[in-house]
Amino acid sequence: MIPPPLARFTAAATPASFSNNRRSSLSALWLGAVAIAACPSLQAAPVVTQGHGGPDAAFSLAPVPPPAINDAAAKATFSLVDGSRDGSSGELAVLADGKLPASEDSPAANFFFADNTDGGRIGVDLGSIISVKSIGSYSWHGGGRGPQVYTLFAADGKAEHFNAAPKRGTDPASCGWQRVAAVDTRPHDGKAGGQYAVEISNKDGAPLGEFRHLLFDVAKAAAADPFGNTFFSEIDVIDAKGPAVERLKPALPLVTNHVSADGKASYSIDSSKAPDLTEWSEKELLPVIVDWYPKLVALLPSEGFHAATVLKFEFRTDMGGVPAYTAGNKISLNAPWIAGQLKGEAKGCVIHEMVHVVQGYGRGPRGAKPAFAPGWVTEGLADYVRWYLYEPQSKGTVIRDPKQAKYDASYRVTANFFDWVVTTQDKDLLRKLNTAGREARYSEDLWKTWTGKTLAQLGEEWKKAIADGRR
Ligand SMILES: [Zn+2]
């Protein structure tokens, strides 16, 4: 049994080493990094760098890089030198498959020693002696099985008395192994859950040594817990003379929350039911939301009304043929429909729905006898903003058959009618119409008040303008 070296090194090395690591480069929340001088017996003392993050960190645990895909461990032979694999654990092969668990409790995607045992030893045969630049280990669990506690040994296998598989009770240093580093990522505050990444390397970038064999002497992370063995997700061995290292691209979080630059609004997007749309949401949709929501609020003001400051977008797969709808500040988006419209109507559709959030019809101050705007007004206004203000370059509101045109046909047709009223009769129509809808005091008489013409007269004049080719 190897004496636990960490208490000693951590206490002695922390203050000085903290200034040496790259803490300032940390970007994700609640990451911690500690670099400790691990083995004073080696000439160039390797450092252990660690990263720790929450369940959404996507193994982007700076300063430790994400797991490698094409590292030397991918071709190595892993063996259980001592201890036993838990019945629910994955095979040792999961440690080198370049894949990460999908959740914080994915036993089969990790390797862990059997419950009610105190770890064991894992051997790695790289097949030939290579110049090892660094060694990485990654783990993830929501509780006490997240942190890593192990001592790493390495050997070239050339020693006469070399024992490739020393059981516990045999000090590897006595049979041809060098002790490289001791790792202990258990947090001091006891909150052990989350993702952990460890990198063992030399500070100056020089290789750790010429090795063929590695031996991980793994201790239980949660000593008092019968289920305290670490969920190891991946082990990487980087060959100093190997090909350029390819690393896993961190997955984007499926639920994001963006606070506007002025801090006045926040936008959350939930793509957990449509992970394929996560990247598009983040790169394409979010900028449109951030740019346009404040514009829409400014476009449709009314006294005493405050538009929602929290917007929630959710991609859903249970909406049938409905592309999108809005309830209060929540916008539901039909994932399959949006996916088919990424280069088409997807963004315009979201603009339309955000107009509904801003409209807030029936939410403004209202009188004793509320008179709600008819649906064609509500939808026509949302489509007017979308087609004429957000994407004026589109031909989305061309009326194909003037004889059939009806001002109250809703959506695009009504949008065309509103545009005609705005450009020929009353520039301020949009704001007035919206305020009437919001304050639930809509009446057809308002059109006469605003333009001097009845709604029917306006409708006829508009149709004539279409027929004359003026629209
Ligand atoms: Zn609508």
Domain boundaries, the chain: 6-239, 252-360, 366-471
CA 324 to ligand 1 centroid distance, Å? 8
| 384: three-class secondary structure by DSSP | helix
* CB of 132 closer than 8 Å to CB of 212: no
d(CA 447, CA 304): 23
Q: Which CATH class is domain 252-360?
A: mainly alpha
- In DSSP notation, 166-197 reads PPTTS-GGGGT-EEEEEEE---TTS---EEEE
* CB of 177 closer than 8 Å to CB of 166: yes
By C-alpha distance, which of 76, 114, 81, 82 is closest to 95? 76
pLDDT at res. 254 = 81
Pairing state between β 310-316 and 330-334: parallel
CA 78 to ligand 1 centroid distance, Å? 58
Which pair of tokens denotes residue 183? Answer: 């790792």
Torsion of CA 445, 446, 450, 455, to 10 degrees: -60
CA 373 to ligand 1 centroid distance, Å? 13
d(CA 58, CA 61): 8
- In DSSP notation, 71-133 reads SGGGGSEEEEEES-B-TTSPPGGGGGSS---SSTT-GGGSB-BPTTS--EEEEEEEEEEEEEE
CA 41 to ligand 1 centroid distance, Å? 71
pLDDT at res. 191 = 85
* Amino acid letter, residue 91: E
CA 437 to ligand 1 centroid distance, Å? 14
pLDDT at res. 250 = 67
| 423: three-class secondary structure by DSSP | helix
d(CA 142, CA 176): 38
CA 351 to ligand 1 centroid distance, Å? 10
**Looking at the whole model, is its pTM more than 0.85?**
no
pLDDT digits (tens, 9 = 90+) for 386-421: 999 999 988 778 888 888 899 999 999 999 999 999
Q: How many CB atoms lie within 10 A of CB 204?
A: 7
d(CA 215, CA 124): 6
CA 470 to ligand 1 centroid distance, Å? 27
Q: Is the dihedral of CA 65, 70, 72, 78 positive or negative?
A: positive
d(CA 435, CA 27): 44
CA 361 to ligand 1 centroid distance, Å? 12
| 264: three-class secondary structure by DSSP | coil
pLDDT at res. 167 = 98
d(CA 461, CA 256): 48
d(CA 124, CA 113): 16
Residue ranges of the chain whose pLDDT lies below 70: 1-44, 250-251, 362, 364-365
Asked if domains 6-239 and 252-360 share a fold, the reply is no
By C-alpha distance, which of 32, 34, 30 is closest to 18? 34
CA 332 to ligand 1 centroid distance, Å? 12
By C-alpha distance, which of 70, 75, 99 is closest to 246? 70
CA 111 to ligand 1 centroid distance, Å? 51
Angle, vertex CA 408, rays to CA 405 and CA 411, nearest 5: 90
d(CA 254, CA 313): 12
By C-alpha distance, which of 126, 168, 131 is closest to 150? 168
- In DSSP notation, 353-379 reads HHHHHHH-TT-S---SS-BPPPHHHHH
CA 271 to ligand 1 centroid distance, Å? 21
* CB of 242 closer than 8 Å to CB of 127: no
d(CA 319, CA 327): 14
| Cα dist from 270 to 58, 253, 275, 313, 330, whole Å | 16, 9, 9, 6, 11
CA 421 to ligand 1 centroid distance, Å? 20
Backbone phi, then psi, for 366, in 5-degree steps? -135, 155
CA 321 to ligand 1 centroid distance, Å? 14
Q: Is 432 exposed, middle or buried (0-12, 13-18, 19+ CB in 10 A)?
A: middle
Which pair of tokens denotes residue 262? Answer: 């002025």
CA 325 to ligand 1 centroid distance, Å? 7
Q: Which CATH class is domain 6-239?
A: mainly beta
CA 327 to ligand 1 centroid distance, Å? 11
CA 118 to ligand 1 centroid distance, Å? 61
CA 280 to ligand 1 centroid distance, Å? 22
